[in-house]
Amino acid sequence: MRDSNSDFVPTTVSAPVPLSAPPLAPSRRAVIARLCGVAMIAAFFAPRLGVAQTPPPENAGAPAMDALKRALQTLEEARADRFEGHLDKSMVGYSVLVQYAMDLSTKFKDVRFLLKEPQILAAKDATVITVPWERRALQLPKLTPELRTGRASILLHRVGNDWLLAGVAGDNLFKP
């Protein structure tokens, strides 16, 4: 009879190989998209769950839309330093948006934004504006015309009497 351990050859033990990669932290874009999605889902399901709601007035999103238009107007006037006042400083991607605004004002001339048929989901202190947009500009130094289009969901929230941009999901209209 043969000993079963006689064929044993010692080997080095290595760490187990994971079956999948460790989960990565979600990107800024994913976080903002989730926030916008949660706001839209909550507004959609609240009546079905029996949550008492009073319908918002017809122009509930008008102050937020005006704030967005003022923010875009500061970029059209190439005043990137004033654009920061329209952003929530605690938003995800704040420094990226500030850098985009600086790049727009230094790399482009005659920037114009066109917002087409915005869809507004308004609440008391938060509004999501989903809008197809178009941006026309002249790229410096040769003044080459540029046209960019896309669709973005922009989250704004109220702080006191001011509406501040709190997130952008989808195609970023501020990206140069």
Place of tokens 């033990």: 13
Collapsing DSSP to helix, strand or coil, 14 comes out as: coil
100-148 pLDDT, tens digit per residue, is 989 988 899 999 999 999 999 888 888 999 999 999 999 999 999 999 9
pLDDT of residue 148: 94
DSSP secondary structure of 126-169:
EEEEEEEEEEEEEETTTTEEEEEEEEEEEEEEEETTEEEEEEEE
DSSP class of 11? -
Give the closest residue to 99 by CA, choosing from 87, 113, 114: 87
Sketch out the chain's domains with CATH numbers. 60-170 (3.10.450.50)
Can you list the residues of the chain whose pLDDT is less than 50? none
pLDDT of residue 150: 94
pLDDT of residue 18: 53
Judging by DSSP bridges, how do beta strands 126-139 and 144-159 pair with one another?
Answer: antiparallel
pLDDT of residue 60: 73
